[in-house]
């Protein structure tokens, strides 16, 4: 049985770090390569704004991905994400490093993934989130499944949920509603 909205909100109140996979989470999972060896990825601007609001609100954001891409480094830099771990085939090692660095517990971490390689991380964090188009096994092992697809606003959905659960939505968005 999946957790209720209230149970998820109670879990989210304790989150101090959001960790994101890249391919299939921050992107739609497509990897485009050209004949010169360049790699292209498409990121959703609203996901980026959600990440910036989280960081502004004092919630740390990190990236852990199995692949390496210069475009991921660039996008992370643009968003102010300083904790970027690429070529992580055992993501738990990177997660343990980040948790130790920020002196957190697993319960204070949310993780967003899309594939079975993310399931071991789900078991170590307080809030495990699968994007809507994740594999069936991944969704079955997540506490929360987004309405949006990976690379299409799923990360923004998680950011907004965390800000609202922690009572930070109004302080982060109030300026947009002023007349």
For residues 126 and 7, is the Cβ–Cβ distance under 8 A?
A: no
Spatial separation of the C-alpha atoms in residues 169 and 82, rounded to whole Å: 23
Q: What is the DSSP letter of 40?
A: E
Structural domains of the chain sorted by starting position, each given as residue range(s) with its CATH number in brackets: 9-167 (3.40.50.1000)
Per-residue pLDDT at 1? 47
Per-residue pLDDT at 177? 82
Residues of the chain with confidence (pLDDT) below 50: 1
Q: Which among 156, 154, 123 has a CA at the least distance from the CA of 46?
A: 156
pTM: 0.94
Could you give the strand order of the β-sheet that contains 60-64, starting from the edge strand earlier in sequence?
83-85, 60-64, 17-20, 109-113, 127-130, 144-145
pLDDT, tens digit, for every residue of 50-74? 999 999 999 999 999 999 999 999 9
């Amino acid at each position: 049985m999946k957790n209720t909205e209230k149970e998820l909100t109670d879990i989210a109140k304790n989150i101090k770090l959001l960790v994101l996979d890249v391919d299939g989470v921050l992107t739609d999972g497509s990897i485009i390569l050209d004949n010169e060896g360049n790699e292209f990825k498409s990121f959703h601007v609203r996901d980026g704004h959600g990440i910036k609001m989280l960081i502004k609100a004092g919630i740390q954001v990190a990236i852990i991905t199995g692949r390496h891409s210069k475009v991921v480094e660039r996008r992370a830099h643009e968003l102010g994400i300083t904790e970027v771990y690429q070529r992580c085939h055992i993501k738990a090692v990177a997660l343990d490093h980040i948790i130790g660095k920020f002196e957190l517990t697993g319960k204070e971490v949310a993780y967003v993934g899309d594939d079975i390689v993310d399931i071991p991380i789900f078991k170590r964090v307080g809030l495990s989130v699968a994007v809507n188009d994740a594999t069936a096994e991944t969704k079955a092992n997540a506490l929360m499944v987004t309405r949006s697809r990976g690379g299409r606003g799923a990360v923004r959905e998680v950011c907004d949920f965390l800000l609202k659960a922690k009572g930070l939505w109004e302080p982060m968005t109030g300026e947009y509603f002023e007349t």
